[in-house]
Amino acid sequence: MSATSIDEAKLEAFMGQVVSDMGANISAPLFIIGERLGLYKAMAGAGPLTSREIARRTGVAERSVREWLRNQAAGGYVTYDAESDRYTLPDEQALALADEDGPFYVLGAYDLIASLYADEQRIIDAFRSGEGMGWHEHDDRLFHGTERFFRAGYKAHLAQEWIPALHGVQEKLERGAEVADVGCGHGASTVMMAQAFPRSRFTGYDYHEGSIRRAQQAAEQAGVSDRARFEVVSAKSFPGGGYDLICMFDCLHDMGDPVGAAAHVREALAPDGTAMIVEPYATDEVKDNLTPVGRIYYGASTIICTPASLSQEVGLALGAQAGQARISEVLHKGGFREVRRAAETPFNIVLEATGV
């Protein structure tokens, strides 16, 4: 490579991006530490604090807190006043870093990210073999992190926006309906719907036994176990029929045979039933997905979603950025006549599918 062919300004800009990415990556464990030790919560709403004051509030060694704060300030997560040597967690950042029940909370994603480093060698082996890696083969933090990553969005939008956007579904749920949540994971979506619609009955299905155990515990803790139950079973073989609503939250693209799963969902619906398919936000063109959100989803798709599909029968490997047109094609092949986009957020698209 000739030195004269290098655009120094472009190289400098790229190296700046690399350094920024390195800083974000090396800070990821510090976000987890901040959550686990209650450092963000101790700062939320408290105004300017010294490292010593934060250490006293959390029972953590002051010297470690001091270095952690400097990293957080360098990344813009907290602000620093040099004159007073105090640090502040702005209210806006506090919504994302300290309010676990809020719609903007982001720290759960770092459990997911941590799990991927633990799985590094198995992922490399899956790349070499092309045989994929099952969801159940990952480090346990993936399951918790995925639930926590999507939970905030579900809590903000599921009952308030997504279900009302479906034709006639909210009215059915308010009167009393039968609902299946296929690929329910830890049951966050199932429990939220059971809380919002106490006259309806919900069954969550997932092939991962550990997730189903956690979902059962979550239903009991939320006081909805009388109307939300869970079973270990695959998307192509869950029992029952005549469901008024069948949901698939951020999971269809992970399945080896999504067409087969869609066909089983269609058969299990009542004649006037509705399927709600929630998928990661994506457009139909790769060039339009090359965004910060797309970068996150392509990363997860490369390491989690595509290997999961490849490890199963058929192995269609849709990927997390399949987009509405490709997902609609799968649903049509599964027997659905009408598919429309009912809602969207920066992180999800919500498709309504019906057989009539």
pLDDT tens across the length of the chain (356 residues) = 555 688 999 999 999 999 999 999 999 999 999 999 999 999 999 999 999 999 999 999 999 999 999 999 999 999 999 999 999 999 999 999 999 888 899 998 999 999 999 999 999 999 999 999 999 999 999 999 999 999 989 999 999 999 999 999 999 999 999 999 999 999 999 999 999 999 999 999 999 999 999 999 999 999 999 999 999 999 999 998 899 999 999 999 999 999 999 999 999 999 999 999 999 999 999 999 999 999 999 999 999 999 999 999 999 999 999 999 999 999 999 999 999 999 999 999 999 999 86
Helix-strand-coil split of the chain, %, nearest 5: 55, 15, 30
CB proximity list for 334: less than 8 A, separation 6 or greater: 258, 259, 260, 261, 262, 263, 265, 266
Contacts of residue 58, defined as CB under 8 A and 6 or more positions apart, other chains included, come to 37, 38, 39, 42, 65
Q: What is the largest CA-CA distance in the chain?
A: 73
What's 3-97's CATH class? mainly alpha
Please name the fold of domain 109-354: Rossmann fold (3.40.50)
- The whole-angstrom distance between residue 150's C-alpha and the CA centroid of its chain comes to 3
Domain ranges of the chain: 3-97, 109-354
Angle, CA of 284, 204 and 342, to the nearest 5°: 35
| DSSP-derived secondary structure for 273-317 | EEEEEEEE---SSGGGG-SHHHHHHHHHIIIIIHHHHHTSSS---
* DSSP secondary structure letter of residue 319: -
User: Token pair of 101, please?
Assistant: 């029940």
Decide: residue 161, CB within 10 A, 0-12 exposed, 13-18 middle, 19+ buried: middle
Q: Could you tell me the two tokens for 175?
A: 């009167």
Check if the beta carbon of residue 200 is closer than 8 Å to that of residue 180: no
**Which of these, 53, 136, 40, lies nearest to 89 by C-alpha position?**
40
Token pair, residue 116, equals 């991927």
- Residue among 73, 100, 109 at smallest CA distance from 89: 73
Residue 355 has what pLDDT? 84
C-alpha distance from residue 260 to each of 134, 212, 233, 307 (Å)? 18, 22, 14, 18
Compute, in degrees rounded to 10, the torsion defined by CA atoms 179, 262, 186, 322.
-130
Tell me the C-alpha distance between 168 and 170, whole Å: 6
> Could you tell me if 335 and 321 are in contact, meaning their C-beta atoms sit under 8 angstroms apart?
no
* Crossing angle (nearest 10°) for helices 62-74 and 51-58: 120
Q: What CA–CA distances, in Å, run from 10 to 6, 17, 235, 355?
A: 8, 11, 48, 52
Q: Are 304 and 138 in contact (CB under 8 A)?
A: yes
